[in-house]
Amino acid sequence: MSTVSIPNWGAQGVIPPIDTIDPTSANRSPYRVSLTDFILRFAETSERCGILDGLLKYRKALHGVGLISGFQWVNGSFLEHVEVTELRAPNDIDVVTFYRLSEGATQATVFAQNATLFDHNQTKATYHVDGYPVDLGAKPEMLVKYSAYWYSVWSHRRNQAWKGYVEIDLCPADDESAARLLASSQMTGGKNGP
């Protein structure tokens, strides 16, 4: 999987939605990044480390019910520099998980294993993840509708300022490395970010 660097926060405290030097390039939001790069970039404070720990536990729960193929769009105030712009820490992380069902699995069998994963209020309370699952096996019209909805919601702040977000592969291959990086950051209370 080819990944890119996560751009630094701009003057408005958000990740830019496009490459400002080459605005028509393919290097734009959602920025495809590795899970370890995501952890390295955002494990800046103890509050952020706690939310990232919840994200890793959420991913582990998804993997535990067989959801290992797909990708996650990650956004919310977690991807904003709210410590500077709003003088507060982020409360959670927003995640849309676009997943493929494993061979032989159905929505019903996955739901029966852990219904909490399909209720964003429960994922928020359990993992600090405002989570929304989307089945990539849905009808194409629904996938277009979901993609357009999430892009339009996440490409702007409520004040209409443009902003970017990231995409992380759902595959569990990097999760152990990411957990070790996060544990190292947690021992020092986070690190100073960009």
Q: 53-82 pLDDT, tens per residue?
A: 999 999 999 999 999 999 999 999 999 999
Distance CA 42, CA 180 (A): 14
Q: Read off the pLDDT of residues 161-172 as tens digits, 9 standing for 90 and up.
A: 899 999 999 999
Positive/negative CA dihedral, 120, 126, 130, 136: negative
Strand order in the sheet with 129-135: 31-33, 166-169, 69-75, 93-100, 129-135
pLDDT at 187 over 90: no
pLDDT at 194 over 70: no
Positive/negative CA dihedral, 162, 95, 84, 8: negative
pLDDT tier at 159, thresholds 50, 70, 90 = confident
pLDDT at 7 over 80: yes
pLDDT at 37 over 50: yes
pLDDT tier at 2, thresholds 50, 70, 90 = low
Q: Read off the pLDDT of residues 105-157 as tens digits, 9 standing for 90 and up.
A: 999 999 999 999 999 999 999 999 999 999 999 999 999 999 999 998 888 88
Question: Residue 67: which of 29, 8, 118 has the closest Cα?
Answer: 118
What is the residue extent of each domain of the chain? 31-182
Q: Is 108 helix (H, G, I), strand (E, B) or coil?
A: helix
Question: Residue 189: which of 85, 44, 70, 74 has the closest Cα?
Answer: 44
